[in-house]
Chains A and B, each alone.
Chain A
């Protein structure tokens, strides 16, 4: 990638204030680089010329009106859809040839707009199953309960409990996932994504259906997760309070095009963004 392309793709301006975290090093080693990413469904360009770079420990937001193509971007990044043009670099490596499962193992974990939990399994199982790729015991070892089975299962149980403690959900470990209240299901989905040890966490409307106090807690938790696990977060959200408060960089999507990129302040004052959300002022 040429330096010019990098400049164009940069989500957070170089001239930003000193980073909140000292280890923040967004510009030197981005976790994700999208270069001219796009997909065409038939003749419709759902996403076009999507150029965004995300730093290693940044919280970034992807906003835009309904139908702008935000979830399509997530589906491109996780290879649910194969991009028709452009390149995705994850930790500097092209993920063109990977499928959804391999992309996850390479480091992108996601949640879904319409919650997709493993409903008939317990809360703890929902998390431990996400650690499957980090376990090494084989099927016969599992059937005959050999030592490695017990060792890894115990370690995974402890890690699952640690993860659950982030959202204070330890008590619910044995509840059936589908029996949880809506907010708890959303939180569980975030934990399940975290359990796969991602370097980039994609959250699709994490605050949807949450009340203001739940949203406030969620905001704290997203920052906590970023600080603890040192990962990047890219989130789609309609709650502007959440986006403007925790995102360090924001990209605005409209009709599949990025119409603005920058810090929350830049976005709030950008006339194009205001137009996209509120419509054009009639000439007097």
Chain B
């Protein structure tokens, strides 16, 4: 009986954390929505809402690759840009046929996710045969390649459908698309996408974060998630129990890319003008920082880190020149506090109830 009780209690532990994560996101969404409709948020704060949701989703999806699968990927921004520009093209070309903005947004995000997943599959199939540093370097390169390829794209839309030009030499312009009089150019090469109808909303961002959470958390708690973690913990033993390494690694990588694509589509439709250079190596690193800071494999940690590190630079605007310095110092301190055993012990002394729960775990 007592055995059953303890089994029941600890079985619920991961479920409890998951539900607390969902609940936390819902509560924060409700609170922020209330503040927004009450008019107590500044314009700059409102402008941050959708990007924060996108970054949260990016961080959680990257955590699937880095924290759960245990492979360092430095090209996550590449998948985001695929989703972003696919989403923009879909949304702009459906401007007349689908008049409802939320429906158009949903279609754009789904198509963005599918395209990012396809690119993820194409990249992942050869790349996941590598390990460790090599995989990191190759994903970094692919992220840059995707960025450069999108920089060469000219896409327009008229009543005959979509028109593409791939322009690596940089000698062609929108005029070469051969659009009819009613046609519009959507992506103009290095100029990026301009004149996009901004249909992204905070509610859509909230739904995106929730879907990302459900997909990642439920995947982690299913047989695929166990297999993925087993591969992370011990590759040789994972093979010895009959797991198909390539299949499960690809599953994690492609899911992660698809979610990044959906986040990218939302992000892209939040700005009337967007260049591919936005999705550079720095953005991949920024998202990796969210993941590492929040804790590898720790989903709610990624959410908080993404939100905090997006708000922090804005909040520090008054310190002008010292802004990035303070940002770096905060980063270092949080890293120390979460990863240093002595610092951990110090914080546990400060928080008696956490000490008790930590001892129970041992």
Residues of A within 8 A of B (CB): 78, 80, 99-102, 104-105, 109-110, 112, 116-121, 125, 128-130, 132-133, 135, 137, 139, 142-145, 149, 152-153, 170-171, 173-174, 179, 192-193, 195-196
Contacts and interface: CB of A to CB of B under 8 A. Distances in A.
Interface stretch (B6-14, B113-121, B298-306): B6-14
B245 A101 contact: yes
Contact of B229 (A109, A120, A137, A193): A120
B230 A142 contact: no
Contacts of B215: 143
Contacts of A152: 223
B226 A139 contact: no
Contacts of B239: 99-101, 104
A78 to B, nearest CB: 6
Interface string B1-39: 001001100110100000000000000000000000000
B282 interface: no
14 contacts: A109-B240, A109-B241, A112-B236, A118-B237, A120-B233, A121-B226, A121-B230, A132-B242, A137-B222, A143-B215, A143-B222, A145-B218, A153-B222, A171-B3
Interface residues of B, number: 35
Contacts of A195: 241
Contact of A101 (B214, B225, B234, B244): B244
Given A139-B251, A145-B218, A78 B240 contact: yes
Nearest to B255: A139
B117 to A, nearest CB: 12
Contacts of A120: 229, 232-233, 297
Interface in B217-271: 218-219, 222-227, 229-230, 232-234, 236-245, 251, 255
Interface in B87-130: none
Nearest to B244: A101
Contacts of A129: 223, 226-227, 229-230, 241, 243
B24 to A, nearest CB: 21
Contacts, number: 110
Nearest to A137: B223
Nearest to A136: B223
A174 B241 contact: no
A174 B8 CA distance: 10
A102 B226 CA distance: 19
3 nearest CB pairs, A to B? A142-B222, A104-B242, A118-B233
Nearest to A128: B226
Judged by DSSP, the binding face of B is helix
Contacts of A137: 222-223
A22 to B, nearest CB: 31
A142 B234 contact: no
B301 to A, nearest CB: 15
Contact of B3 (A125, A170, A192): A170
Given A121-B226, A142-B223, A171-B6, A104 B241 contact: yes
A132 B240 CA distance: 12
Contacts of A112: 236-237, 240
A121 B10 CA distance: 14
A102 B11 CA distance: 32
Nearest to A139: B224
B226 A132 contact: yes
Contact of B242 (A80, A105, A119, A179): A105
A137 B221 CA distance: 13
Interface in B39-82: none
Nearest to B4: A170
Contacts of A99: 239
Contact of B223 (A100, A109, A132): A132
A192 B241 contact: yes
Indicate the member of B214, B236, B240 with the most A CB atoms within 10 Å: B240
A143 B237 contact: no
B125 to A, nearest CB: 17
B229 A121 contact: yes
Interface string B188-227: 0000000000000000000000000011001100111111
Given A116-B236, A143-B215, A173-B7, A149 B222 contact: yes
